[in-house]
Structure 1
Amino acid sequence: MTETAPPRRALAETELKAGAIGLGSVVMQSIAHIAPAIAILFTVQFNTSLAGVAAPLSYLVAFLIVLVLGIVLGELARHLPSAGGYYTYVSRAVHPRAGFWTAWMFILYSPLVAAPVLTAIGSVVETTLQTRFGITFPWWLFLVLGVALATWVIYRGIELSARTAVVFATAEMAIVALLALWGLLFPGPGGVNAAPFLPGNISSSSGFFLAVMFSIFAFTGWEAAAAVAEESRDPRRNIRLGILGSILILGAFLVLTSWGILIGWGTSDVQTLIESAELPGLVLAQRVWGPVGELVILLALINSAIAGSIAYLTVGTRMWFAMARSGSLPKLLAKVHPVHRTPVNAAILEAVLNLAVGLGLGFAIGPFAAFVFFGIAITFTMVPVYILGNLGAFLFFRRERPQDFNIVLHGILPLVGIVAVLGVGWVSINPLPAPPNDLAVALVVVWALVGVGILVAMRIARREEWLLKAGQLAAEVSVDERLESDRLDHKPN
């Protein structure tokens, strides 16, 4: 009797280590990138200051918006499995120059976000150890050690990065979920109620929608699955499922834990939560679990910062790698380690940039202030990225795969995503955030203009050979198949 061979799963053709990780690791790559413990414990106080008791509702609205964005991106990932993520999608579907500009905006996000995260957690570690135990451990040392550890893990290979993400992200989510559960079991003033989800409790529309924008920042990372497409088994299936799975899991997590923390603190006493000098999660943990509770939450935050940084650097290195491979950045960044199959020079660049940004911002305005400032900047940075991604989905299926075009998935949902992101973004900056965070919006505008300036300079210098490869997949680049010149101008066939 002959034995039937199992069906072969599709692998990406790439210089990276194809087929190294499965669906579970893809999901956890995105979840670790979101850094669940930090996403809730570091945003719930700020969101409550903006939305009042309706803060959990802001997470719910953000979840619905992000879900639409995720469905659309998943459709692109299904047909364009690439380490370049948005860079490849927008280059292919809209225009290579738009793809470069999208990647330029994305630089303010994933490649650099480890810096403010590690400085902020370093500040919490420094304060807690000094106050509770009399131990001096400066925030900048936590930053240096965190960047060093994350760089070493991603250098060693995608399998180690993925295993770390699975273990660390699961642990931190379990700890914070237990804290929220204890908050519901032992509520503060006001008891257990649904007030946080009632629109009538929104005190300010601009404040609420800024909270929604900041909640979208808490979700950012769901698109990180796209960056490991070339290293995933069956990427056309797993990346799409990884994106949607991470959004659904984190949506439930952020909405329910924000509610549990607010109930545990007391919905009739939210002003003291807003004014708390310590993170409300640390204070609540000490109340419901005793002295050991604060230490447990501190460990969850440290865990979250390290796992998140590994995920941030993983995405950043793959973006640099994909851009260098296509020729829009120096080829040096496309170098892959011969044994570990990781973008080694891109990893070094990531480490240097995050140390420079973290130390510079941390010493200039303070580590926690740097986190809030950078968080607002990142959130507004992602507005044009999400818009171009949604536009790209519509154009890709209309032009390249008209036989697969679905009016709901590729027409209505991208439009809903664009309108939602634009609307929430506009309401949240009208009026601008209070100083100095208003400068975060100015930073995004200046950064965007610099990106346009670079494109103009490259056009004047006639250095645009990379345009021919910007939207190609790894296999297309490897055999040097040129995109047709009419694709650059999007002329009909």
Structure 2
Amino acid sequence: MTDSPRGTGGEPLPGDAHRLRRGALGLIDIAAATMANIGPAMSFFFGFAFLAVTAGVASPLTILVAGIAVALLGNTLAQFCRALPSTGGFITYVGRTFGPTSAVTTALVAVSGYIIAMSSIIAISGGFLSIAVQRYFHVTVPWGVLTVVLTGLAVLVMTRGVAVSTKLAGFFFAFEMLVLVVISVTVIVQHAGHLSLTPFEPSRIHGGFAGLAAGFPLAVYLFIGWENSAALAEETDDPRRNVPRAVFSSIAVMVVSYLLFAYATVTGFGYDVGRLGQADIPFVSVAEGTVGVLACCAYLAGLTSTLGALIAGVNAQARLLFNSGREGLLPRWIGRVHPTRRTPVNATLVFVAISLVVIGGWALGHVLGGSTGHLDAVTFFSESGTMGTIPVLVVYLFTNLALPVYYRRHRPQEFSVLRHGVLPLVGAAVIVVPLYYLAKSGQDAPYNWFPWASLALVLLSLLYARVLVRRDPGIADRIGSLLADDGPVPIPVAEPAIRNSTVPQGETT
């Protein structure tokens, strides 16, 4: 039984070979995949100490503000998905609004940002396992070796089918959440006699509004991956309805969860931010002081979190790469699917391979620079995560700006001043805050050159886009030509290389 439409004679309709497996995932599947991509244990373990030191004891309040900001972004994605449910996600939204040059530019900027950011998760999967093995077995295994092994196993799972890999990521997420919630509640109960609302008092934010703004990018980073479900639209039942539900439910669950984890952590340290900031992994330190030997479960939760985020993240973000190849924004062979499993094998392999090259290049740079003392996965996680976040935030910004333009231009009868005007513009303004703090001068190396690298990426992507669109004007018709719940649309098979190309006779775009 096939998952795509058939002609009257039973033959596959044109474009059928370009399709992913539709209807393979339900609402719970894509919501679980989204939260697994966020990786609450991984993100909180390695991000909260920096946030607490920056924002102060009221860092949970910063998380709450970041959650509201991410919900504004969620509105933009939800509104676009109701109109354009596409595996291309942000690329399709921006491209259908501002034209083909913006689509190609967005494809390169978004995919590059996601690859760099995902390389941090790939690295920390092996890094965290190395830390756990050293902690409990006193054996040192190079984190690079473990990273390659775990990544290889994850790719094997992902290429087997989206349902298999998504359910596995969901299982990992369920385990980490169970462990984190149990430990957090235990900590709070044991400190019941000393609880207070200090972490939620605005006056306790270090430096006032400036401290809130400085900690805001770190808090937003905890939610990166919230957009995962949009890239799974083509493989989801009723995507126009289920993707928005998955987005908002995932954000809500993560906000509540992070507030619980943050409150338990600052409580476990007696509201002493200085001492909290000195701990390698504050939540694990609290767990060891509260549940004793059962703290090993926190290490397991961290490991399953990194693996779940790796699988869910690559699954979703490689599909952006896949769709860009399928529509001709990038080389066509990237947009091919496995003939029986309907998985984007080529895009997945390319995505992971480039991520590993990024990790290897970073390590080689440290070796050649003589700074091997910082050659650890945690340092790379922080650096590559920050670098990858900047171009992703730029894409968020332009997607927010695109929403009111798209609805006014293409769906004026549905335009809502609040949903399609006010909220996305507020969301765009909110994104400027973390962008400013990530790009401001005076930061330590290598963070001080990340903004310039991101600017160079945008300019080079724009240059490539202008050349490609001039050589292949048919790109304009291919952007968003395959929506998740539509019948397949024929796509030109000509390779959109940097040369003149035409649509074959008898085919339409």
Q: Same fold by TM-score, threshold 0.5 exceeded?
A: yes
- Map 1:298-447; keep pairs closer than 5 Å: 298-362=299-363, 364=366, 365-366=374-375, 367-427=377-437, 429-447=439-457
Q: Residue 331 of structure 1 aligns to which amino acid in structure 2?
A: R
Q: Which residue pairs with 2:73 in the alignment?
A: 69
- 2:170/2:308 contact within 8 Å kept: no
How many Å apart are 1:300 and its aligned residue? 0.7
- 1:176/1:257 contact within 8 Å kept: yes
- 2:403/2:420 contact within 8 Å kept: yes
Q: Which residue pairs with 1:55 in the alignment?
A: 59
How many Å apart are 1:17 and its aligned residue? 0.4
How many Å apart are 1:457 and its aligned residue? 3.7
Structure 2 counterpart SS, 1:262? helix
Structure 2 counterpart SS, 1:479? coil
Q: Within the alignment, does 1:455 sit opposite 2:469 as a pair?
A: no
Within 1, Cα distance between the matches of 2:80 and 2:154?
Answer: 29
How many Å apart are 1:472 and its aligned residue? 2.6
Q: Which residue pairs with 2:181 in the alignment?
A: 177
Q: Say which is worse superposed, 250-259 or 402-411, in terms of deviation.
A: 250-259
Q: Which residue pairs with 1:292 in the alignment?
A: 294
Q: Within the alignment, does 1:104 sit opposite 2:108 as a pair?
A: yes
Q: Which residue pairs with 2:370 in the alignment?
A: none
- 1:337/1:343 contact within 8 Å kept: yes
Within 2, Cα distance between the matches of 1:114 and 1:391?
Answer: 25
Alpha-carbon displacement from aligned partner over 1:53-108 (angstroms, at most 9, x marks no partner): 12111111110000011012101111111111111111112222222222222123
**Alpha carbons of 1:131 and 1:166: their partners in 2 closer, same or farther (altered >3 Å)?**
closer
Q: Say which is worse superposed, 35-44 or 12-21, in terms of deviation.
A: 12-21
Q: Within the alignment, does 1:249 sit opposite 2:249 as a pair?
A: no
Q: Within the alignment, does 1:279 sit opposite 2:290 as a pair?
A: no
Q: Percent identity?
A: 29
**Alpha carbons of 1:476 and 1:45: their partners in 2 closer, same or farther (altered >3 Å)?**
same
Q: Residue 309 of structure 1 aligns to which amino acid in structure 2?
A: L
Structure 1 counterpart SS, 2:391? helix
Alpha-carbon displacement from aligned partner over 1:290-310 (angstroms, at most 9, x marks no partner): 1331x2111111101111111
Unpaired runs of at least 5, structure 1? 1-11, 482-493
Q: Residue 65 of structure 2 aligns to which amino acid in structure 1?
A: V
Q: Which residue pairs with 2:203 in the alignment?
A: 200
Within 2, Cα distance between the matches of 1:263 and 1:195?
Answer: 10
Q: Residue 427 of structure 2 aligns to which amino acid in structure 1?
A: G
Within 2, Cα distance between the matches of 1:30 and 1:18?
Answer: 18
Within 2, Cα distance between the matches of 1:142 and 1:427?
Answer: 34
Within 2, Cα distance between the matches of 1:129 and 1:480?
Answer: 50
- 1:206/1:428 contact within 8 Å kept: no
Extract structure 1 runs of 4+ deviating beyond 6 A.
none
Alpha-carbon displacement from aligned partner over 1:187-240 (angstroms, at most 9, x marks no partner): 39x932222222211223444323211211110111110001000011111111
For the aligned residues, what is the CA RMSD? Answer: 2.2
Superposition TM-score, scaled by structure 2 size? 0.86
Q: Residue 282 of structure 2 aligns to which amino acid in structure 1?
A: P
Q: Which residue pairs with 1:470 in the alignment?
A: 479
Alpha-carbon displacement from aligned partner over 1:247-300 (angstroms, at most 9, x marks no partner): 111111112211111111220x21011122x2112211111111331x211111
Q: Which residue pairs with 2:507 in the alignment?
A: none
Structure 2 counterpart SS, 1:46? helix
**Alpha carbons of 1:436 and 1:372: their partners in 2 closer, same or farther (altered >3 Å)?**
same
